[in-house]
Amino acid sequence: MPPGDTLQRWICDQCGEIHYQNPKLIVGTVPEYQNKILLCRRAIEPRYGYWTLPAGFMENDETTGQAALRETLEESGARVELGEPFTMISVPRVNQVHLYYRARVHDLGAKPGEETIEVAMFEEARIPWDEIAFRTVGFTLKRWFADRAKGSFSFHAEDLMA
Amino acid sequence: MPPGDTLQRWICDQCGEIHYQNPKLIVGTVPEYQNKILLCRRAIEPRYGYWTLPAGFMENDETTGQAALRETLEESGARVELGEPFTMISVPRVNQVHLYYRARVHDLGAKPGEETIEVAMFEEARIPWDEIAFRTVGFTLKRWFADRAKGSFSFHAEDLMA
């Protein structure tokens, strides 16, 4: 525990660098085109073969919006126009905060990234609800279709407890 | 660079633990009571002696809302009722994302925390704009008073570039 701190931290025995372990941001998009939503089928664990929205760890030297665009391009191959932040979901069990932006697909791209088996566009009735990779993705999709039905989108903050 | 990664990472020479360096979340509140806003005068660097909203690093095992309540109590001594998320500001120069919630003061508390010289309540005309510690705080306060003037609060996402 460093002086003045209140929690134990990882400290390098050799150089003294303190590696604080704080929650990480997972940032992604809900890419929409002609009333369909783009989903990616995962080529990696966890949840290999399940469907997800494009998203991933925010990196240093970028904004949340830049992270959302980068992850969308990397995982789906698609270029999108970013909209407003849509959901923000704390998942304290894994020390993560998930943030999804609304987005409009400009260009589906030639092929998805290495982490993705295939990319497909789903209308609401065809969303594979039983094969969604993560609860944060299911929550975000449900909110998106509910808001669209209402005719207005707003920002939704939520906690997913264990 | 670990196998399959695209960026260099910190790795412990002894145990092989990979310490990813991702942006950190700073979470706080805009505590309001009878049309005044609570500010804390900083007892620590950076920006010793300047005024700030209560906020700090989100820790593992908590939600964003829990972090906001904890930091508000630690820095100001005040107990608040949490409202909606209000501002989310990327600051890529320092690899941070700042998140402020609206909040209503329930109990000002006996005394502020060690990081705070004093706590005071300010009406809009008395906000010490020239002595605000951080740009994210000034941005959040300006949005708060602008939204109050409009009679409705919404969520604001912003990037603060260097």
How far apart, in whole angstroms, are the C-alpha atoms of residue B92 and residue B104? Answer: 30
How confident is the model over B99-158, as pLDDT tens digits? 999 999 999 887 888 999 999 999 999 999 999 999 999 999 999 999 999 999 999 999
For residue A62, the chain B residue with the least C-alpha distance is B92
Task: Report yes or no: B58 at the A interface, CB cutoff 8 Å.
Answer: yes
Q: With bands split at pLDDT 50, 70 and 90, how would you rate the model's confidence at B18?
A: confident
Q: Which of A22, A61, A90 sits opposite B92 (nearest CB)?
A: A61
Q: Do residue A85 and residue B90 have CB atoms under 8 angstroms apart? A: no
Task: Report yes or no: A9 at the B interface, CB cutoff 8 Å.
Answer: no
Weakest-pLDDT range from A107-121, A123-137, B121-135: A107-121
- Measured CA to CA in angstroms, residue A145 lies from A35, A124, B128 at distances of 10, 7, 44
Q: Choosing among A63, A69, A71, A158, which should be mutated to test the B contact, i.e. which has the most B CBs within 10 A?
A: A63
A148: Cα separation from own chain's centroid = 20
Q: Which of B125, B126, B119, B37 is nearest to B86 (CA)?
A: B37
**Helix residue ranges per DSSP H, chain A:** 64-76, 135-150
Per the DSSP assignment, residues forming a β-bridge with B151 are: none
In the chain, the amino acid numbered B98 is H
CB pairs under 8 A between A and B: 89
Q: Are A91 and A160 in contact (CB under 8 A)?
A: yes
Q: Which of B147, B130, B116, B148 is nearest to B28 (CA)?
A: B116
β-strands B10-11, A156-159 pairing: unpaired
Q: Which of B7, B84, B155 sits opposite A59 (nearest CB)?
A: B7
Q: Is the pLDDT score of B3 beyond 90?
A: no
Q: Which of A59, A62, A63, A56 is nearest to A40 (CA)?
A: A56
pLDDT, residue A135, reads 96
Longest dimension (CA), chain B: 58
The answer to whether the pTM exceeds 0.80 is yes
Weakest-pLDDT range from A9-13, A92-96, B70-74: A9-13
Q: Is the pLDDT score of A89 beyond 90?
A: yes
Burial of A143 (0-12, 13-18, 19+ CB in 10 A): buried
Find chain B residues with C-beta within 8 A of A84's C-beta: 157
How far apart, in whole angstroms, are the C-alpha atoms of residue B157 and residue B98? Answer: 10
How confident is the model over A7-33, as pLDDT tens digits? 777 676 767 777 678 999 999 999 999
Task: Report yes or no: B125 at the A interface, CB cutoff 8 Å.
Answer: no
Four-residue CA torsion sign, A106, A108, A112, A115:
positive
Return the higher-pLDDT residue of A20 and B48: B48
Find chain B residues with C-beta within 8 A of A7's C-beta: 59
For residue A25, the chain B residue with the least C-alpha distance is B23
Q: Do residue B88 and residue A92 have CB atoms under 8 angstroms apart? A: no
Percent of chain A with pLDDT over 70: 94
